[in-house]
Amino acid sequence: MIDRMEPEIRTWTVLEITNLVGGLANGSGNVEVTGIAGIREAGEGDITFVAEARYLPLLKHTKAAAVIVSKEIQIGESESEAALIRVDDPVAAFEKIAVNFAGPRVKPEPGIHATAIIGKGARLGKNVAIQAHAVICDGAVVGDDTVIYAGVYIGHE
């Protein structure tokens, strides 16, 4: 029998996230966040964001633990059970959180996998990594230091 290792889930507190994005928190800074999701899909432990006022009604229904909102938007604490983190730019803050949740990226070593298909006249830059079953058609150009992930298709010219 093979033992499967479950991936380690990184838990962040609202306070840690607030410090990361340079925001101001309403509510408990001890609320734990273990994932990210859209406001409609967010569940217990997720963080989400509202970038436009038209999405504010969704605050009443989201199950998210925390929501990133603009400092400009007026929201009463009774409008959401989630911890609110107020920032200048909710989209940029959410992107920063997403990158930090993803963890460090490991860039694949340069090279071409044996199952990749490279078309005639395709030009490959220096230090490219082309993974399994990628298809690069005739005349396509791939720049220096590019990673083409498994199964990617790049069309002609």
Q: How confident is the model at residue 78, as a pLDDT?
A: 59
Q: How confident is the model at residue 105, as a pLDDT?
A: 65
Q: How confident is the model at residue 1, as a pLDDT?
A: 42
Q: How confident is the model at residue 5, as a pLDDT?
A: 44
At 30, the pLDDT band (50, 70, 90 cuts) reads confident
Question: Mind listing the pLDDT tens digit for each residue in 112-154?
Answer: 999 999 999 999 999 999 999 999 999 999 999 999 999 999 9
Question: Mind listing the pLDDT tens digit for each residue in 62-117?
Answer: 999 999 999 887 776 556 788 899 999 999 999 999 888 876 667 789 999 999 99
- Output the DSSP codes for the chain: -PPPPPPPPPPEEHHHHHHHHT-EEES-TT-EE-EE--TTT--TTEEEE--SGGGGGGGGT---SEEEEETTS---GGG-SSEEEEES-HHHHHHHHHHHHH----PPPSEE-TT-EE-TT-EE-TT-EE-TT-EE-TT-EE-TT-EE-TT-EE---
- Higher pLDDT: 24 or 80? It is 24
pTM: 0.61
Q: How confident is the model at residue 76, as a pLDDT?
A: 63
